[in-house]
Every structure is written in structure tokens, then in C-alpha cells.
Structure 1
Amino acid sequence: MALDRGGATPLWRQLQRELLARMDAGEFADRFPGELALVEHYGVSRHTVRQALSGLRADGVVVAERGRRPRVAEPPEIQQPMGALYSLFASVEASGLAQRSVVRTLDLRADAVVADRLDLEGSTPLLYLERLRLAGGEPLALDRVWLPAAVAAPLLAADFTHTSLYAELHARTGIRLDHGHEDVRAVVPTAAERSRLNCPPTAAAFSIDRLSHADGRPVEWRHTLVRGDRFALTADFSAHAGYQLTGSARP
């Protein structure tokens, strides 16, 4: 495509749209052209090319690392609609990837901070489950869950290497979570977290805090650290109704 040098749209914007169109058509899957190649192909300045690529990098469409050729960013393997009480187990299964967990800890303990979040006395025994979640054989998330031991103690007998916590909770206790609240933040994993998750050096992560309720009482406090390069949160929206957070269940 020839760029319109006499038009009102800046050349860098035209080039950006042209590159996006070519990517949508399936080009650049194996190799994304470097700056000099784009300069020569489109007959524009290097400054114009850099402006176009800067926007693509900011939008996460193109990944550019120091000393390496730019490349098209891979789409996340797992996409989770926001607004539904979802299970990470179900999300991974729905993506077609094999789901497995490495159970790091499953025991009873006291945690005054978490107990307070669950509206319990600080010394109340809690069931604690910590897992490394795998999708397709590769680390996806570090998952830590606390539940009141008075209702969740039967889960001590469960094998969580390939099962859903929510399914086991319902099967063994009759409790089905019905609503909750989540806070999601983008974070830079610590060195230890990056090692456990096998994160690329430039990958960020989602830090997700969840408080879930059943029959009007808090039952679960969960903190999940999910690799940002493998997981995405999605939502539908419109100009009139705003965000429609009604996605079906797919951590």
C-alpha cells in the first residue's frame, strides 16, 4: 500500500494502520520487519517508522526488546470474561490446555489478617491451600486460598493436583459460592515469583485478591498471581450501558 503523502492523516498514523492491517491478514507471523526495512519499503523517514512502532508497542501489539528485532506479540492463551464468579481450573480447561496443580501447602493454620477479612476472630483456624497452577505443562499462576476450617476441613482429604477447589468445596461441604469482590492490579513479580512462574524477564503479572461469599457470609479469601503474558481479562461495553460484566465462567 502506498501512503498518501498529501493527505491530512500523518504518515506515521497511516503506516501504523497499514502494519495493523497486514498483521490482521496473517503477515509477520514468523518475522517482523526491522526499522530500516520499513524505511526502505515505504519510503519514509526512520522517525516516521519509530513513531508508528511506538504506538504498536504501547498497545502491546508489537514486542521490542533491547538488542532484538521487534516481533508480533502472541495472543494470551487464556481469556477470562470479567464479572462472572469464575474458576481458574475451568478457564484453563476451556482454553483446551491441560490443567494441573503442584500442591505446595495444604494445612490448618491461624492468620489474624485473613481472619479479619473473613469476619472471624484472629485465632480462628483456617484451611490454607497454596498451589502452583500449570496450563499446558507450563506455570501459569501462584494461587493461595484461605477458608474457615470449621466448614472447609473436609478439603484436607482432597487431591488438588487436577481438580477445582470450588467443585471439591461443593461436593465435600455442600457450599457453593454465589458472589464476591475482586481487586486486580498489574505488578512486577519478585525474583522468587518469576523463578517459580518461569516468567520472561519483561513479563508483568496480574495480582488478584478475591473475597467470595456464600449465603451472605464470607467464605474464601484468595490471592492469585497470574502471568500477564498468558492470561487476559475481557469485558464487553457500549456507549449507553457501559461495561457488561456478564461473561460465563471459563483461576
Structure 2
Amino acid sequence: MPAGTLVRNGAAPLWAQLLADLRTRLDAHEFDAAFPGELALVAEYGVSRHTVREALRRLRDEGVVVAGRGRAPRLAAPMEIEQQLGAIYSLFSAVEGTGRVQRSVVHTLDVRADGVVAARLGREESTPLVHLERLRLADGEPLAVDRVWLPEDLAAALLDVDFTHTGLYDELARLCGIRVAGGRENIRAVIPTEEERRLLGIGPGVAALAIERLGSSGGVPVEWRHTLVRGDRFTLTAQFSARDGYQMELGPNRP
């Protein structure tokens, strides 16, 4: 892109114009071989180093490029978590199984009442529930916003757990003697809200998957979970055969 196409004194700041053009060029695969360094971008676009760094910071926050002090920016390796449909899984284990470090930012860990969730768990509406809300990270990159509710009479011991780097199912088994062995999931594509996009570090062009899970132990519901996961980082797969096929239930998207 010729430097003259950047509009000086335009409505959009130069870094925003540069960012938009870099995204266009990334989509066109211009940088698949190598991503240009700061000085190369300064020379090509005729802008200051500060302008280039601001545009690169946004790309870094989006997980598109990796740029550190003293290191040339480069395209980030795509991170994708693949999960088999019909299997009991832990997002913690799925991330760590790829060789990445899973960490969580705990937003909420308390006891509260939620009549709708309690009913889904087959409990009275006033049943106290342990509620855990986390932002799940893979190698420091936002992956999912995870919210889970469990009956307090089963899961009170979880209130003392540091969930920064551990899996809920591991702690549920260790402290409460409960193993989630089955259940039901509803998975649908959604358009994240502005706040959800901010938490997940994604732009308006990235969709998300909403996963609702009713987890059971011994046939008894013990967990209701709602997970919003980045659609560009999470893949669901299914096995099938000509003899057995596979079962799929289609239903309307719920708001």
C-alpha cells in the first residue's frame, strides 16, 4: 500500500488506518512468508515508529502477531483446540494436551441462588449454588469465558480452591468425591456482545460458540455450565461409520 494512501488529518488516526490496511494484507496472505519489522513498516508507510507500534500492539492483543522487546514481529502460530463430540472433556486438559499452558482469571467464586439454574439441576429454586466464573487463557491468550454452577451441598469445598491453574473436574473429584461421567450439551454459534469480545480479545468479525452443559454423576445432575469459546480457536469433531452412522439432534437456536 503506498504511503500516500494514508489520510493525514483524517477522521481516523494514522495507527487505525495502518491497522486496517495490515489486516487487509493479512487476509490476502501477503505476510505468510514473513511479517515486516517495525522499521520496514515505518519506511513503507511513511509514519512514525509510535504509529507502527500502536498498530502492532492491537494485532498482538488480537493474537495475530507475536512481538516482544528486541524481537521482530512475526505471525502467531494458529492455536486451535479440537474436541471430540460425545466425549467427557475438560477444557483445562484439552489446552494442556496441546503443550500450551492453561491459566484462568477468576472473576467470581461465591455462593448464590439462581432459580433457573437450580431447576435445570433438578433442585428447588432457592437451592444455594457454588458459582465459578473464569476467563480461560491458553499461553496467555483469551480462549473462553466459562461460568459454572454446582449445588453447594455437593461442592462447598471448591470455595477454597485457587482455580488459576487447575481443572474444575480434578478438584471436584479430589475434594468432593464427585466425577462427572455423562450429561448433555447444547452447542450453538452466537455473535458475542461488545463486552464479550473485549474479554475474549476478538474483533467484530469473529464468531463464538456457546456451549451449555448439564453434567451428571451417577445419573444425578451436579453441574450446569455455560462456556463462550472463541470460534476461531475451538473445533468440534465427530466420528461416524456407514454401519453405525451418528446421532445429531437439530433444534432452533435459543436466544
Q: TM-score range by the shorter chain?
A: 0.5 to 0.7
Work out which of the residue numbers 28, 32, 40 in structure 2 matches 1:30.
Answer: 32
Match of 1:225 in 2: 228
Deviation at 1:228, TM superposition (A): 0.5
| Greater than 6 Å deviation, 4+ residue runs | none
Structure 1, unpaired ranges of 5+? 1-26, 32-73, 246-251
Measured after TM superposition, the shift of residue 234 of structure 1 is: 1.0
Matching of residue 213 in structure 1 with residue 216 in structure 2 = yes
Shift of 1:176: 0.7
1:157 corresponds in structure 2 to: 160
Q: TM (normalized to structure 1)?
A: 0.67
Q: Does 1:117 align with 2:120?
A: yes
Match in the other structure for 2:187: 184
Deviation for aligned residue 1:103: 0.3
* Structure 2 match to 1:87: 90
Give the equivalent residue in structure 1 for 2:178. 175
Distance 2:107 2:79 in 1: 26
Residue 165 of structure 2 aligns to a residue in which SS?
A: coil
**Is 1:241 paired with 2:244?**
yes
Distance in 1 between residues matched to 2:108 and 2:236, nearest whole Å: 28
User: How far apart are residue 121 of structure 1 and its match?
Assistant: 0.5
Per-residue deviation at 1:226? 0.1
Deviation at 1:102, TM superposition (A): 0.3
Secondary structure of the 1:202 match is coil
Match of 1:144 among 143, 147, 160: 147
How many residue pairs get aligned? The number is 177
Could you say what the CA RMSD is over the residues aligned between the two structures, in angstroms? 1.9
Which ranges in structure 2 are unaligned for 5 or more consecutive residues? Answer: 1-28, 34-76, 249-255
Segment drifting more, 233-242 vs 222-231: 233-242
For residues 93 and 30 of structure 2, the distance between their equivalents in structure 1, rounded to whole angstroms, comes to 32
Query: Which residue is 1:103 aligned to?
Result: 106
Higher relative contact order (CA 8 A, sep 6+): 1
Aligned to 1:200: 203
